[in-house]
Amino acid sequence: MGRRVTVGIFPGGVGQLSIDQNTVSTVDPNASLTLTANGTGTIIAQQSTSINGDLTIANQGDLRLSEQTANGVNYVALQAAATMATNYTITLPSAVAIAANSVLQSNTNGETSWDVPKTFTYSTVATSFDAVAYGGYFVNTTSAGLTATLPSSPTVGDTIRFFDVAKTFDTNTFTVGRNGQLIQGDAADMTVTSESAAFELVYSGATFGWRIFSI
């Protein structure tokens, strides 16, 4: 039967442990405390465990997060690279993402944040409309020409796509209204008369405005 020690020095001599109720510490200054299970045994903490300091998992060992079962058979593991050029720290965001489909991104300091990827929303239009950033428009000018009015206060990098879905821009003109911004550096609306035209406009800033990128 094991011996229960609640207060005192154990076992004595070099490498002594100080046991004080629920606290176990080394007596020697700056000495390490090693817990080792024999063979294939594991060291198990039965309740919630707090670590006041760094936790080092050596030799490319895993930090394993087990499923909610009695034995935790399946798990998700976090692991360092086999060879690393230097130490680095990944800092998680201070709060959860505020939008669905957010992704975790990092700056060069390893500080992460949530971001919603820019994805295009597509629609078919047959009358004049207000275009929005990351809108993709299948423009139908079969019946008459029409105008797409660009955003009045775009942000650098905003992108809009247009397609001559009915192949009728040469018959009925498609006009892109600049709405106060430059297009290709010019203070003029853009008219498109090429059949089957398909292009992107990307906003470069106030100096040069919207720039054409063919697709």
Which of 9-13, 20-24, 117-121, 196-200 comes out lowest in average pLDDT? 9-13
Q: Check which CATH number belongs to the domain holding 130 and give it.
A: 2.60.120.640
Residue 35 lies in a domain: no
Phi-psi region of 46 (alpha: psi -120 to 50; beta: other; left: phi over 0): alpha
Asked if residue 197 lies in contact with residue 209, where contact means CB atoms within 8 angstroms, the answer is no
Residue 148 lies in a domain: yes
Domain count for the chain, please give it.
1
3-state DSSP of 113-137: EEECCCCCEEEEECCCEECCCCEEE
Residue 45 lies in a domain: no
Residue 57 lies in a domain: no
What range does the domain containing 183 cover? Answer: 121-214
Residue 109 lies in a domain: no
- For residue 16, give both structure tokens: 């002594």
Q: Any idea what DSSP says for residue 3?
A: P
Q: What is the pLDDT of residues 53-76, one digit of tens each?
A: 888 888 999 998 888 876 667 889
Residue 156 lies in a domain: yes
**pTM of the full predicted structure?**
0.61
Asked if residue 137 lies in contact with residue 161, where contact means CB atoms within 8 angstroms, the answer is yes
Asked if residue 135 lies in contact with residue 161, where contact means CB atoms within 8 angstroms, the answer is yes
CA–CA gap between residue 129 and residue 132 (Å, rounded): 10
Q: What is the pLDDT of residues 151-195, one digit of tens each?
A: 999 999 999 999 999 999 999 999 999 999 999 999 999 999 999
- For residue 139, give both structure tokens: 């423009």
Q: What is the largest CA-CA distance in the chain?
A: 98
Residue 42 lies in a domain: no
Residue 97 lies in a domain: no
176: three-class secondary structure by DSSP: strand
Residues across the chain: 215
CA–CA gap between residue 149 and residue 59 (Å, rounded): 60
